[in-house]
Structure 1
Amino acid sequence: MLVPAVAVPFFGAVLVWAWRDRAFAHWIGVGAAALALAVVAVLPVGRGNGDWVSIGGSLSGGWWHEIEFAWAPSLYLDFSLAVDGVSWPLAILTALLGLLCCLHNALGAERRTSGALQDRLARVETGGPSLAADDASGVPGRPAATLTSLLLAVQFASTLVFFADNLILFFIAFESVLLPMWAIIRRYGDPVARRRAAAKFALFTVGGSLIMATGLFVAVADAGTADLGAIIVAGGVDPSISLLVFTLLAIGFAVKAPLWPLHSWLPDAHTAAPTVGSVLLAGVLLKLGTYGLIRVAGGIAPQGAADAAPVLAVLAALGILVAGLVCLSLPELKRLIAYSSVGHMGFVVLAFAAGTEAGVRAALFGNLAHGLITPLLFFLAGALKARTHTGLLGSLGGLRLAAPAFAGLLGFAAFASLGLPGLAGFWGEAFTVYAAAERGGAWLALAAAAAFGAFLAAAYLLRMLRRVSHGPLVPATSGIGDASTAELVVWSPLVAGTLLLGLIPGPLLDLFSEGLL
């Protein structure tokens, strides 16, 4: 089932693009995304026991499923796919968000409320047809079929990253995400800011990937193989080059994560991107960086990871604090949510740097929880901006009076993001502090910094709710209407996932123990 899990979104993207002038093209995309989700969901069926052993130089057990085809052996390139308890949760998250984004675009609820404004802005900028219109029909407000095709392309490449068991294939898939994501920001983003944001996104990503590629090639040359599982089980690369390999890989993955101070592309990209672009950036692309850091960099260069852990931990703690302080002063909703991701990813990296079993599990759990909560926040922020035509906190207010269900969902997502017990955001942050404190010594200061960062998150998210949901009605929010049925259909899986992981975290933590780390 590994090949269909990757192939379905790929061929779905091709079909949607080929029939982009047909009214039903969007629903082909929704169908492909739904089928991909179903295929990924059944991957745990018939899985192995997760025990990794090396017998006579060959590997036995470990992967739930694996498949390998020779591609270009002289280049160490094989089409080698595998899945386990670490990669599968991220693959199912990617498939879920891909389906929700395609459904959001097909239903077009947000475009119906914002189409006139986007059409006017786009005409001012380009002097031509509106980019809010359908690619072929030119009807303002109709969802763009090409956007659905690009969403599926991002899903295809990201799924391939999580399943790749060959380092060269991993790099190719990692880079393949860049082009469709750049196009989503550049073509369908905010007419004023999209060009600069897309260029900055591409520049940072390509620069980081070149450094990462150097580390991968050094590792392959040292190990004599590009088989990720084989290198990890063998203990990684030679200790003499382990720190070099880890540093090169960590820089590349830190750009994508993003880790402070390599984060400056993210707020611009999130602010300029359309809602579905922000959802995929937060829920999928950032996970490529953290997954690569934990599994690839930490897996093939474990000694280097241990040596670099103090530096990585300090940068992560600083990122948590800086992001929290910046968010306290930000006046724009989407930019605030974007900067909050820098802080949340700081928790993930700090937990990984701790190097303990509790730390690694906290990193993996926090990574997945962020992939549910922050996309929900971006869906809500996008819907609010489409209704009010502003994201400025100073121009909003009284949402609980104008749209009580909408305000309730925004409050739920904010409480989950600040780590309220009983919701998914709590476990990753709480156990990150525990994992850092468990190390003792100077790590106690890092644990205290992370705890204070959690306090800052509560402060800026409660400030956001006070500005947006409470107070008297303002002209921007008056009469905007409550959440629609179509919106609730798209948002409810994220709400359910956030509740489920918050109340029953055990099964996910058990899955991580079946992974190769």
Structure 2
Amino acid sequence: MSDQTWVLPLLTFLPLIGALVMMVLVPNEAESAHKLIALITSLATAALGVAVFAGFNYDASQDLQFVVDQSWIPRIGSRFIMGVDGISLPLLGLTLFIVPLVMIYSLDHIPSPGNPKAFLSLILILETGMIGTFVAQDLILFFVFFEIVLLPMYFMIGVWGGPKRQYAAIKFFLYTLFGSALMIVSFIAVYFLSDPQTFDMRALPTAAAGISSGAALWIFGGMFMGFGIKVPMFPFHTWLPDAHTQAPTQGSVILAAVLLKLGSYGFIRIALPILPDAARQWAPVIGVLAVIGIIYGALGCLAQTDMKRLIAFSSVSHMGFVMLGIAAMNDIGINAAIFGMVAHGLITGLLFFIAGSMKERYHTLEIKRLGGMLIQAPKLGWILGLSTMASLGLPGLAGFWGEFPAILAAYSPAPGINEGLFRTLMVIAALGTVLAAGYLLWLFQRTSFGVPNKEFEKDPEIADVSVTEWVSWTPMIIGIVVLGVLPALVMGISNPAVEAMTTAFGFGG
């Protein structure tokens, strides 16, 4: 595919070019121009992504396609390598899908203190980091993109966030930076212990096969911390509720829809294939922490009084199902994890959009002060209803196919993993779905049923869904329904690549 080597670099850096144009060439006062450039840039990137999807060979989704491999930093043996396969393509698609919708929503929802130029530029820089992470095939290149997303999100929370934004931003930054420090140490260790020494993720599964089991366990532990904090897994999750609660709506949507997936993707793309034997030994730890996260996140939701904080804790619970699928290390589990990432991105992203619009209308997200939304803003209420049903895993909607196969995968984990333990985890995880129904139905009932609170009974600001909200939310609603009915749209792409990986490293079934 030598004639297509330009596609992925252009796809990755096009948002960054758009951000630079806005920062250098367009004055601060031209707000409309900034919004237009940001929207056109995100749509052009999505259009280029459609070309990637159209040119992708789905019969060979286990093979890397659109590969670019150029010299980059020869001094340390790092190359500029990009490529997509069936594992990264669904997540690349999710990123290209979400960012234009965020831009459309931002047309009339720039948070205080304004400054569309800086706000929209940061979103475009974030998009470059997210796309780059999903297409990078060199450990150092992966790390660079993985870290690029840190600063834009820090500023989005710290400048445009809520009353406790500085605390939330610093906590987010320090937690993820700590994990990244351990992760880069692990990458360097893999490089020095592999034979031949390389950062090439395509060659490392073979090159790293000679690493001693003791060293591999420690190296996997470093990756586990780096990726686990980003997911975030219990007990590294405490930065997430603060970051979500204080972040502006667009920041919460991007954080929930894509940024959390960088960690779980790192497990599937890097940690499992490069260190399969260490992964087997770490599997019980990952599985137990995943299930604790499912139950803890659900119980945390039941204790919340703020709607955004409740949705944030639900992310801890839902990402627990993703990590349970990864810990099972079989075909069903890893496919469920990839599907679960896409489904969670659509559903929780939509929930945060709705929460942001409710905050604009009611000026509060305190659940006990809300109510009667189906009377005052019925369309908004019904969209919230659909989102909660999808989030609790109702069959026929996308959330079901992220949770049910992950539970199923735990019944028969990969060879060499404690079957009895994982069957126990399967039962506990299934109970987590009951708790999810409890807190989500409680949220929907408290905010949407009954009569409006006297405080907002005659408030003229309580309008129903606006045009920009319809345009930015409708594709997500369609995606949630379509993937619920046709899960093969994602699993059909990911399964050949997952099967090739599990077969190559003996995870099996």
TM-score exceeds 0.5: yes
The AA in structure 1 aligned to 2:49 is V
| 1:14 matched to 2:23 | no
Matches within 5 A, 1:434-449: 434-439=408-413, 440-449=419-428
Match in the other structure for 1:95: 96
Superposed displacement of residue 44, structure 1: 3.0
Match in the other structure for 1:510: 492
Match in the other structure for 2:504: none
Q: Say whether the 8 Å CA contact 1:267–1:335 is kept in structure 2.
A: yes
The AA in structure 1 aligned to 2:328 is A
Match in the other structure for 2:505: none
Report the 3-state secondary structure (helix = DSSP H, G, I; strand = E; otherwise coil) of the residue aligned with 1:97: helix
Q: Say whether the 8 Å CA contact 1:50–1:63 is kept in structure 2.
A: no
**1:338–1:237 distance in 2 versus 1, CA, 3 Å:** farther
CA deviation digits over 1:337-383, x for unaligned, max 9?
A: 00000001100001110111111111111111101100000000000
**1:229–1:397 distance in 2 versus 1, CA, 3 Å:** same
1: CA distance between counterparts of 2:347 and 2:158?
A: 25
Report the 3-state secondary structure (helix = DSSP H, G, I; strand = E; otherwise coil) of the residue aligned with 1:394: helix
Match in the other structure for 1:491: 473
The AA in structure 2 aligned to 1:279 is V
**1:199–1:507 distance in 2 versus 1, CA, 3 Å:** same
Match in the other structure for 2:36: 27
Superposed displacement of residue 233, structure 1: 5.5
1:322 maps to which of 296, 313, 320: 296
Superposed displacement of residue 232, structure 1: 3.0
Superposed displacement of residue 468, structure 1: 0.1
Matches within 5 A, 1:74-473: 74-105=75-106, 107-108=107-108, 110=109, 131-133=112-114, 135=115, 144-190=116-162, 192-223=163-194, 224-232=197-205, 236=209, 238-240=211-213, 241-439=215-413, 440-473=419-452
Report the 3-state secondary structure (helix = DSSP H, G, I; strand = E; otherwise coil) of the residue aligned with 1:228: coil
**1:287–1:476 distance in 2 versus 1, CA, 3 Å:** farther
169-178 or 374-383, larger mean C-alpha shift: 169-178
1: CA distance between counterparts of 2:55 and 2:179?
A: 38
Report the 3-state secondary structure (helix = DSSP H, G, I; strand = E; otherwise coil) of the residue aligned with 1:69: strand
Report the 3-state secondary structure (helix = DSSP H, G, I; strand = E; otherwise coil) of the residue aligned with 1:67: strand
Superposed displacement of residue 234, structure 1: 5.5
Unaligned runs of 5+ in 1: 53-60, 116-130, 136-143
Q: What is the TM-score normalised by the length of structure 1?
A: 0.90
**1:237–1:509 distance in 2 versus 1, CA, 3 Å:** farther
**1:20–1:277 distance in 2 versus 1, CA, 3 Å:** farther
Superposed displacement of residue 211, structure 1: 0.6
Q: Say whether the 8 Å CA contact 1:237–1:301 is kept in structure 2.
A: no
Superposed displacement of residue 48, structure 1: 4.2
Q: Say whether the 8 Å CA contact 1:94–1:284 is kept in structure 2.
A: yes
Report the 3-state secondary structure (helix = DSSP H, G, I; strand = E; otherwise coil) of the residue aligned with 2:411: helix
Report the 3-state secondary structure (helix = DSSP H, G, I; strand = E; otherwise coil) of the residue aligned with 1:442: helix
Superposed displacement of residue 85, structure 1: 1.0
1: CA distance between counterparts of 2:132 and 2:494?
A: 19
Superposed displacement of residue 20, structure 1: 4.7
**1:239–1:367 distance in 2 versus 1, CA, 3 Å:** farther
**1:24–1:49 distance in 2 versus 1, CA, 3 Å:** closer
Superposed displacement of residue 203, structure 1: 0.5
2:50 maps to which of 32, 41, 52: 41
Matches within 5 A, 1:44-59: 44-48=53-57
Q: Say whether the 8 Å CA contact 1:231–1:237 is kept in structure 2.
A: no
Superposed displacement of residue 39, structure 1: 0.8
2: CA distance between counterparts of 1:492 and 1:237?
A: 51
Superposed displacement of residue 507, structure 1: 2.6
Report the 3-state secondary structure (helix = DSSP H, G, I; strand = E; otherwise coil) of the residue aligned with 2:497: coil
2: CA distance between counterparts of 1:408 and 1:330?
A: 22
Q: Say whether the 8 Å CA contact 1:407–1:469 is kept in structure 2.
A: yes
2: CA distance between counterparts of 1:156 and 1:448?
A: 40
Identical-pair percentage: 39
2: CA distance between counterparts of 1:487 and 1:48?
A: 35
Match in the other structure for 2:3: none
Superposed displacement of residue 514, structure 1: 3.8
1: CA distance between counterparts of 2:204 and 2:464?
A: 53
Superposed displacement of residue 238, structure 1: 2.2
**1:290–1:82 distance in 2 versus 1, CA, 3 Å:** same
6-15 or 240-249, larger mean C-alpha shift: 240-249
The AA in structure 2 aligned to 1:73 is P
2: CA distance between counterparts of 1:446 and 1:404?
A: 40
Report the 3-state secondary structure (helix = DSSP H, G, I; strand = E; otherwise coil) of the residue aligned with 2:292: helix
1: CA distance between counterparts of 2:97 and 2:456?
A: 31
1: CA distance between counterparts of 2:57 and 2:349?
A: 32
**1:410–1:477 distance in 2 versus 1, CA, 3 Å:** farther
Report the 3-state secondary structure (helix = DSSP H, G, I; strand = E; otherwise coil) of the residue aligned with 1:515: helix
Match in the other structure for 2:72: 71
2: CA distance between counterparts of 1:102 and 1:354?
A: 37
Q: Say whether the 8 Å CA contact 2:104–2:471 is kept in structure 1.
A: no
1: CA distance between counterparts of 2:241 and 2:396?
A: 29
Q: What is the TM-score normalised by the length of structure 2?
A: 0.91
2: CA distance between counterparts of 1:472 and 1:491?
A: 26
How many residues matched?
A: 479
Unaligned runs of 5+ in 2: 1-6, 414-418, 502-509
